[in-house]
Chains A and B, each alone.
Chain A
Amino acid sequence: MGIFDKQSELKPSSMITVAERRFDDAQSLRDTELNARANGVAYLVGFVIEILLKAKLVTKFLSIAKKRQHQLEDDERDIWALIWRRHDLEAMLEKMPELEAALRIRGRRAGIDYLGHLKAICATWTIQARYSPRMILMDEAAQLLERVRELKEVLK
């Protein structure tokens, strides 16, 4: 098996492990209690959500995920790019309405608005990661970390 083929073999279980490690990295930054590290916490917890959404996409679209770029049909390119190239959390969610429905049901049972929390994190990360030069404080980063601690358990 060639290098590119091995790369395409990345499994959802491995992606979940990576997400846990990045979450631990975020926790370590948070534990410094330094405001200078707060944006790093915010970035990493958004990255955790991105990896977990990509793992869901790989599970749902396994045959597309395993293809090499030159093997893709036209109607597969968008999904493939979301898995391996893009960081568009909003577009990932749009491809998985069943995930939104499941989070809504699970949230109702638990009395926690998981879907609303997920969309809030996605919006926050979209702004923080792409547009905002604003420095946040560690208290705000800690709020994000706690939301993601809860969310990652229902996204795994």
Chain B
Amino acid sequence: MTREHVDSLTRAILDRFGGAEVEAEPVNDRGRFRIAVVSPEFRQLTHLQRQDALWAVVDATLPAEAALDISLILAYAPEDLAAAG
């Protein structure tokens, strides 16, 4: 996955989830990335619902080969991280 793919995915997630924060970090030097998203919209969703919604954005935004290079998408409501300290 290229940095351009990361940028377009970040924009798509920000468009889809109001008030979201998105971070992407490489997990190796071969273009594989881990994504973390914090959004107030996740308060109303179970973990699997968050995942399904995020992967739907991925599938609608990235070519299939690029999507394979996402290792995980970590999805948090703001309170999840606040509680984690």
Contacts and interface: CB of A to CB of B under 8 A. Distances in A.
Contacts of B83: 132-134
Interface string A95-137: 0000010001000000001011001101110111001111010
Interface bin, chain B: 20 to 34
B71 A90 contact: yes
B55 to A, nearest CB: 5
B68 interface: yes
A94 B84 contact: no
Contacts of A147: 48
Nearest to B67: A116
A124 B76 CA distance: 10
A143 B28 contact: no
Interface of B (DSSP majority class): mixed
Interface of A (DSSP majority class): helix
A127 to B, nearest CB: 6
A102 B26 CA distance: 23
Contacts of B73: 119, 123
A62 interface: no
23 contacts: A94-B28, A94-B32, A104-B64, A104-B68, A120-B48, A120-B55, A123-B72, A123-B75, A124-B48, A124-B51, A127-B74, A127-B75, A128-B47, A131-B81, A132-B80, A132-B83, A132-B84, A133-B83, A134-B83, A140-B46, A140-B47, A143-B48, A144-B47
A155 interface: no
A100 B47 contact: no
Contacts of A124: 47-48, 51
Interface of B: 27-28, 32, 34, 46-48, 51-52, 55, 64, 68, 70-76, 79-81, 83-84
A153 B34 CA distance: 26
A79 interface: no
A131 B80 contact: yes
B48 A122 contact: no
A100 B68 contact: yes
Contacts of A140: 46-48
B27 A127 contact: no
